[in-house]
């Protein structure tokens, strides 16, 4: 019995040491070194051959989010309904694609004729995993997205916040995409402005800091930045550039180009 107990303790110690070894290997391979500082987590990461140190703050302790709550942000209602979005989408956009295969077969010609433009990661925004949409917009909508990003960045810089990137959660959809989405999202309308390449969704629940890596559960995802983004969208909406609705279930701003 004692021998069995000693073996159990030995296996536990060996298993624990092996786990520590694996964690060390993973951190080494990922190029990160972690330190715990009173509940905060800091690490170094290489970005474009530059090494920078970033902090992960527990929810409620982020200095940028605290600063945002002290500033008066001019955010409008942002509640343009689906019919309004559809009207502009049908006026300015492409003909909807029925299937994914249909879109993919026509994509090269649409890009060559400048009917669509590919949306790619940049400093202003990153694409989330697009499981039910394609990263393409009509040129006017792509320009609008860039202008939203520029105005968002200007507000961050002016107030000494950031830098942060917005997260794009949905772009161009086919009707096949929409049918698949309806099975998982009761908020998805059968007739969507996303069909026309005029519309995209930006998350207001999560923003990426300079290092561009999603944070661990329990750490701040900088959702207070929704006020900064909301003010930028309010201004562009007032200028007649876009229609916007704040979707609650999907935690995103649903945006359609309007000119």
**pLDDT tens per residue, range 105-129:** 999 999 999 999 999 999 999 999 9
For the chain, percent of residues with pLDDT exceeding 90: 64
Write down all domains in the chain, each with its CATH number in brackets.
2-58 (no CATH), 82-257 (3.30.1380)
The per-residue pLDDT for 96 is 96
Q: Which residue has the higher pLDDT, 131 or 8?
A: 131
**Lowest mean pLDDT: which of 29-33, 63-67, 129-133, 177-181?**
29-33
In degrees rounded to 5, what are phi and psi of residue 148? -60, -45
pLDDT at 50 over 50: no
What does the buried/exposed string (b/e) look like for 212-236 if buried means 16 or more CB atoms within 10 Å of the residue's CB? eeebeeebbbbbbbbbbbbbbbbbb
With pLDDT > 70 as the criterion, what percentage of the chain qualifies? 75
Residue 44 has pLDDT above 50, yes or no: no
- 73-87: pLDDT as tens digits: 999 999 999 999 999
Quickly list H helices, the chain.
Answer: 2-30, 63-68, 82-92, 100-112, 139-158, 175-182, 226-238
Whether pLDDT at 49 is above 60 = no
pLDDT digits (tens, 9 = 90+) for 195-214: 999 999 999 999 998 766 77
């Amino acid at each position: 019995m004692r021998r069995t107990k000693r073996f159990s303790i030995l296996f536990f110690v060996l298993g624990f040491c092996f786990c520590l070894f694996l964690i060390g290997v993973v951190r080494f391979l990922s190029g990160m070194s972690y330190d715990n500082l009173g509940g905060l987590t800091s690490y170094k990461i290489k970005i474009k051959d530059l090494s920078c140190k970033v902090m992960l703050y527990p929810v409620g302790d982020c200095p940028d989010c605290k600063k945002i709550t002290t500033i008066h942000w001019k955010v409008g209602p942002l509640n343009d309904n689906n019919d309004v979005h559809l009207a502009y989408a049908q006026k300015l956009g492409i003909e909807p694609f029925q299937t994914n295969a249909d879109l993919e077969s026509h994509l090269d010609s649409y890009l060559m004729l400048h009917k669509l433009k590919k949306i790619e990661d940049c400093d202003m925004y990153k694409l989330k995993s697009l499981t039910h949409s394609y990263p393409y917009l009509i040129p006017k909508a792509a320009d609008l997205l860039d202008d939203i990003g520029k105005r968002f960045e200007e507000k961050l810089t002016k107030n000494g916040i950031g830098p942060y990137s917005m997260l794009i959660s949905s772009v161009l959809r086919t009707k096949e995409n929409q049918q698949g989405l309806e099975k998982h999202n009761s908020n998805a309308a059968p007739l969507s402005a996303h069909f026309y390449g005029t519309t995209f969704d930006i998350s207001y629940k999560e923003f990426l800091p300079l290092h561009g890596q999603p944070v661990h559960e329990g750490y701040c995802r900088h959702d207070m930045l929704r006020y900064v983004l909301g003010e930028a969208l309010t201004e562009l909406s007032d200028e007649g550039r876009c229609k916007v609705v704040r979707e609650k279930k999907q935690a995103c701003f649903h945006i359609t180009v309007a000119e």
